[in-house]
Amino acid sequence: MSVYIVAEIGNTHEGSLGLAKQFVKAAADCGVNAVKFQTHLFDYESLPDAPNPPYFKDETRKQYFERTALSLEDYKKLKKFANEECGVDFFSSPFSLEAVDFLEQVGVEIYKVASGEVTNLPLLARLGQTGKKVILSSGMSSWKELDEAVECLRASGCQNLTVLQCVSEYPCAPEHSGLNIIPEIKKRYQCEVGYSDHTLGMAVSLGAVALGATFIEKHFTLSKKMYGSDAKNSTEPEEFKLFVDEIRNLEIALTHKVDKDLTANELKEMKFIFEKTIVAKSDLQAGTLLNESNIAFKKPMKGIPANQFKEIMGKKLNKNVKANHVFEQSDLSS
């Protein structure tokens, strides 16, 4: 199964449909499968005095989400642009029941549950009832909470579930990434597993794919210098393109089996050039018994290969040879 790669755009578009389209086009040019946004209807998801996360203090959550909100018509235009002009899927994370209703009007086919919504069982039940694919992140959840979330989604009708390993740190240190959890998620829930990457660089996501992740999400920005809570910890287009390419190369390596013996046979020319043959260390007289003191091992491999040296130990030369003479079986007698 091909890895499904998502560019997380979130709200970095600053509420501009034009800028949002630029984000989508740039992400599509990197080769992603989908772009993901965040649907925040502030009054339905937060109290007026809801605190900011520690990494963003420039304005209140209410100010930020209301200022960067896209309208229903904007979302519809953006989805159409992503699907028809850029050839990528479009979906979003809802943060309230009303946001689900909003996105149902947009016509999204996938829902992403953000890490902070895992314990919001009414939201999960609503998503399960849509019958659409659900991506469940787990950045701040215990196993008990994740168990309840998966049970709620499935009991509500979700039949297509992917659970993501994630750590809600921005940025996340590699030693906190929890790659060991990926096989455990797959075994525990018998579903597709993925990784939502908050680390800098690409090593951790590549490790996740090697461990079986079929869904990779990473924050995307046109520039780390852009305003907002996510931009400085996001990945710019040039690096994101390399990120996608490296995942695709890893996919090829993981899905193409190699026969070791067949490969060795196909590399005969290389073996001739690089492997060693047994030669005379110095001029030797007929009748000399070969031992480790009078033989050497040198390239190319065109006589008796070095791995057969024990078979010629103690055998007698039947002729005089010069230094660097390449031994053949015909040179030897018992």
Pick from 255, 285, 312: which residue ends a domain? 255
pLDDT over 90 (residue 144) = yes
Residues 168, 279, single domain; the answer is: no
Of 235, 255, 275, which one is at a domain's C-terminal end? 255
Per-residue pLDDT, 56:
64
Residues 95 and 203 grouped into a single domain: yes
DSSP code at position 131: T
Specify whether 243 is located in the same domain as 325: no
Binning pLDDT at 50, 70 and 90, where does residue 305 land? very high
Residues 236 and 268 in one domain: no
pLDDT tens for each residue of 208-218: 999 999 999 99
Same domain (yes/no): 244, 324: no
Residues 179 and 277 in one domain: no
User: Could you tell me the sign of the dihedral formed by the alpha carbons of 235, 240, 242, 245, in that order?
Assistant: positive
Question: Is residue 267 located within the same domain as residue 315?
Answer: yes
**Per-residue pLDDT tens for 162-209?**
999 999 988 899 999 999 999 999 999 999 999 999 999 999 999 999
* DSSP summary character for residue 320: -
- Band (pLDDT 50/70/90 cuts) for residue 59 is confident
In terms of domains, do 114 and 12 share one?
A: yes
Whole-number pLDDT of residue 295: 96
CATH number (domain holding residue 321): 3.90.1210.10
Residues 10-58: pLDDT tens digits? 888 888 899 999 999 999 999 999 999 999 999 999 898 888 777 666 7
Q: Are 245 and 267 members of one domain?
A: no
- Whether residues 155 and 228 share a domain: the answer is yes
Same domain, yes or no: 120 and 174: yes
Looking from the CA of 26 toward its CB, the CA atoms found within 13 Å total: 20
Which of 255, 286, 308 is a domain's end point? 255
In angstroms, the Cα distances linking 164 to 95, 115, 321 are: 18, 9, 69
Domain CATH code at residue 200: 3.20.20.70
Residue 237, classed as helix, strand or coil, is: helix
Q: Structurally, how many domains does the chain consist of?
A: 2
pLDDT of residue 55: 63
**Domain residues for 175?**
4-255
Is pLDDT at 268 greater than 80 in this prediction?
yes
**C-alpha–C-alpha distance, residues 123 and 117, integer Å:** 8
Q: What is the pLDDT of residues 151-160, one digit of tens each?
A: 999 999 999 9
